[in-house]
Amino acid sequence: MIEGIPDIDSPNFCPELWQRMFVLQLNNEFYVKPCCYASPSDQNQVLVHNGDKIFETYNQHPSVQQIRENNKQGLLDSGCEVCVHSEKLSGSSGRTRAIDQIKSTRSGMRAVKLSTHVDLNLGSLCNLACAICDPHSSTSWVPVYKKMYGAGKIGTIKYKPANRPVIDDPAWFENIQTLQLQGGEVFLQSAYTDYFRNIKRYRNLNGIEVRIFTNGTVLPDPELFELLSECRLVSLFFSIDDIEGRFEYQRHGGIWSDVVKNLQWFRDNCTSKFTLGFHPTYSLLNVYYLKELYEFCSTEFPSFQRSYGPYHIGTGPCSTHALPSAIRQKILDKHQGIPELSFLNSAITNDDRYDSTEFRDYINKYDTAINNSYAATHSEFWKILTN
């Protein structure tokens, strides 16, 4: 256990400031911050150049130690605004879920150890340009973004496939209990195979739990799949928000029939060490059609778990956090009688001042960039939204 951290009920206590790390590789450098929710800043983000010194460099950095000291006094870093905002809207956040997880374990606070939970993102290489994404998280989004907003706004975002350093940090590997792999698309990137291969040189993979978010369009290479099979537990979540033509619109570059075949492959080839699930992100793009997605998932893949997450809760042009009462009611009416989707009652609040101009402007730009039509592929909800 870490000495000197606050009691679990202390004001604003966040165990993630100690037990978690978010590591993002941008070509030949690594950017490390407290967790995937934290907004990067000069105070909470540490730049690391060596793939063998990530753990030591981050945990010994003066700004990281200061953020932890501040939290002992009941203070949160300015980068914690996402969780603060989420708690105001829904009462829940990454911080509160981390606390609940600690309370649910028999060891309680004794379970809090340094940098045991890792969010790992080894690059933005991706084959899709999803409507809820951006060029920071997908290389395929760069040409779409240029068509929507012009080349000047891309800035320095560029994925370089060559000469990317490999992580080989035994001090860090020793501590890891949980790994959450993000992208880009994880199964497109050989760096994840290198990463697990290096961990295995120093310890047994059976002591690690892994969570992976994948778009379902790519199968893992055989070596990575074998390495994952040696881990204690692997939770595979498929980021699929809709079906058929609506899927192909929302996840531009994806082919629905190929995704279904891949889902069948995972179902047939994953051992009992794997937990398979769907993790849809609900937004204005798909919120009216969650019933159809639910029916597909529960009929074709009934053993897969399902959990739903919001698009940029309360922010962004595609957010469903607040909608006019008439539109909100039509969404709720369509999903009435499906207990799994009853969360929409509290997830969508009434706001008759809502103006869909920002969303429609975004959709018009996206339609042009991908040569597709939201109004055509989502005609029923488009009429509801625009009438």
Q: Which pLDDT band holds residue 275 (cuts at 50, 70, 90)? A: very high
Residue 150 banded pLDDT, cuts 50, 70, 90: confident
What's the mean pLDDT in 197-209?
96
pLDDT at residue number 87: 87
Over residues 310-314, mean pLDDT: 77
Half-sphere exposure in the Cβ direction for 178 (13 Å, CA): 16
Q: Which residues are paired to 181 by β-bridges? A: 120, 212
Preceding peptide of 51 cis, ω within 30°? no
Residue 44 lies in a domain: no
The answer to whether residue 259 is domain-embedded is yes
Residue 11 confidence class, pLDDT cut points 50, 70, 90? confident
Q: What is the mean predicted confidence (pLDDT) over 302-327?
A: 90
At 312, the pLDDT band (50, 70, 90 cuts) reads: confident
**Residue 374 located in a structural domain:** no
**Does residue 83 form part of some domain?**
no
For range 195-204, the mean pLDDT: 96
Q: How far is CA 280 from CA 137, 287, 306, 355, in A?
A: 17, 10, 8, 25
Of the listed ranges 54-63, 287-296, 311-320, the one predicted with least confidence: 311-320
CB 45 within 8 A of CB 25: no
Query: 120-130, pLDDT tens digit by residue?
Result: 999 999 999 99
Q: Is the pLDDT of residue 315 over 90?
A: no
Averaged confidence pLDDT in the chain: 92
Q: How many alpha carbons lie under 13 Å from residue 304 in its C-beta half-sphere? A: 27
62-116 pLDDT tens trace: 999 999 999 999 998 888 988 888 888 778 888 998 898 888 876 655 557 788 9
pLDDT of the residue at 318:
95
Task: Report the DSSP beta bridge partners of residue 277.
Answer: 237, 305
- Average of per-residue pLDDT across 39-52: 89
On whether the CB atoms of residues 118 and 20 are closer than 8 A, the answer is yes
Q: What is the CATH number of the domain that holds 260?
A: 3.20.20.70
Residue-level pLDDT at 2: 65
Range of the domain at 243: 122-312
Identify whether 84 is part of a domain: no
Q: CB neighbours of 336 closer than 8 A, spacing ≥ 6?
A: none
Question: How does residue 152 score in pLDDT terms, banded at 50, 70 and 90?
Answer: low
Query: How would residue 154 be classed by pLDDT, with cut points 50, 70 and 90?
Result: low
- Average pLDDT over every residue of 145-157: 76
Number of domains present in the structure of the chain:
1
- Tell me the H-state helices in the chain: 16-19, 54-59, 62-72, 81-90, 94-104, 141-149, 170-175, 191-202, 222-229, 244-250, 256-269, 290-300, 325-334, 344-347, 357-370, 374-377, 379-386
Instruction: Decide if 270 contacts 236 (C-beta within 8 A).
Output: yes
Instruction: Give the separation between CA 197 and CA 178, rounded to whole angstroms.
Output: 16
The answer to the question of residue 5 being in a domain is: no
Which position has the higher pLDDT, 25 or 41? 25
- Indicate whether 115 belongs to any domain: no
Q: Quick one: what percent of the chain has pLDDT higher than 90?
A: 74
Identify residue 34 by its one-letter amino acid code.
Answer: P
The DSSP output letter for 39 is: P
pLDDT at residue 323 tops 80: yes
**In this structure, is residue 271 part of a structural domain?**
yes
